[in-house]
Amino acid sequence: MATYHNGEIAVQQRAGLAQQADFSLGGIGASIPPVARDFLAAQPLIVLGGTDPEGRVWASQLTGEPGFLKVPDPRTLVVDALPLPDDPLAEVLTGGPAARIGMIAIEPATRRRMRINGRAHRQDDGLRVDLDQVIANCPKYLQKRNHRRIGHGGDGNGDAAPVATDGSELSPAQQRAVRTADTFFVATASDHGDADASHRGGNPGFVQVLSPTLLRWPDYVGNAMFLTLGNLLLNSSAGLLVPDWETGTTLHLSGTAHTVWDAGEIARVPGAQRLVEFSVEAVREITAASPLRWSSPEYSRFNPAVA
């Protein structure tokens, strides 16, 4: 039977949404139903989060032709892909013991998404994930996009080799990428290391760059589960993935985050119920990380205005 951990319960209670959270608990299961199996089989992308050997939390992605996500049984997901060598989670996912990971599969064209959390093992040239949680998610704040694949003789730079650069703060160009983003993904983990990956979306500008090492974004109305904020209450480590939908570049950030409950600060941000501040500690940018290219967005009608 699904339950919330202490951090999630504490945030639900502080937000005054414990009753709604109890109702939303029905959206958390331990197995993949047939309709979700078919959804996964159609996807070319899955986002994942986990912890590296140094204890830093990162968010990343895996891509493949539709069908690369397989459900051999309701408690298992097979991913026919491995991270790039320079991916921040490559070491933990390509060797050694099972890694606790969180995943989110999204289909921007239909604004559908689902989260899957479990323990990943290397299996040949891919991963086998033994599932702990399967979570239904609402489509709010997800921008509508269509995709195409490049490379292998296609147009663009799809055959270019990925190039990774590291830093400890955001460069001016990376700051611009964050300021103009309408989507990013956030990875967190509980105090026991159980990982989760989630989506955050809004109109461009919804993420504020307060300095090269400090970001802030609004926490909008959601399902009241508070899986991300509950983890952060117990373990402040977090990772962000900011995709460049047009070029395939991925911006990976690792650091710490906390929830801002100050009513005056919250009131300055349209639509915000709470705020989250993220301190950047490590940056990795990988060019040509994805063969997928996505169309210009059709913004969600749920996105609040940006001041």
Which CATH number is 148's domain given?
2.30.110.10
Q: Is residue 237 in a domain?
A: yes
DSSP symbol at 151 = -
Please check whether residue 112 lies inside any domain of the structure: yes
pLDDT of residue 306: 95
Whether the model pTM is above 0.75:
yes
pLDDT for res 240: 99
Domain that holds residue 78: 6-294
Domain assignment present for 1 = no
Residue 154: what pLDDT? 37
- Provide the Cα torsion 116, 259, 278, 100; round to 10°: -30
Amino acid at residue number 103: M
Instruction: Examine residue 305 and state whether it is found in any structural domain, yes or no.
Output: no
How many independent structural domains does the chain possess? 1
Residue 306 lies in a domain: no
Angle, vertex CA 37, rays to CA 195 and CA 44, nearest 5: 75
**Domain contains 62:** yes
CA dist., res. 50 & res. 62, Å (int): 13
The pLDDT of residue 181 is 98
Q: What was the pLDDT predicted at 160? A: 84
> In this structure, is residue 300 part of a structural domain?
no
Flag whether 304 is in a domain: no
Low-confidence ranges of the chain (pLDDT < 50): 152-157
pLDDT of residue 187: 98
Tokens of 193: 């290391």
| pLDDT score at 60 | 98
Q: Give me the pLDDT at residue 307, please.
A: 85
Closest CA to 251 of 189, 177, 169, 188: 177
Going by C-alpha positions, the residue among 131, 100, 128 that lies closest to residue 115 is 131
Q: What was the pLDDT predicted at 235? A: 98
- Return the pLDDT at 159: 66
Q: What is the pLDDT of residue 78?
A: 98
Question: For position 155, what pLDDT does the model report?
Answer: 42
Strands (E), the chain: 28-29, 45-51, 57-63, 69-73, 76-79, 99-107, 112-123, 126-136, 147-149, 163-167, 183-189, 195-201, 208-211, 214-219, 237-243, 250-260, 274-287, 292-294
CB 288 within 8 A of CB 162: yes
Name the percent of the chain lying above pLDDT 70.
97
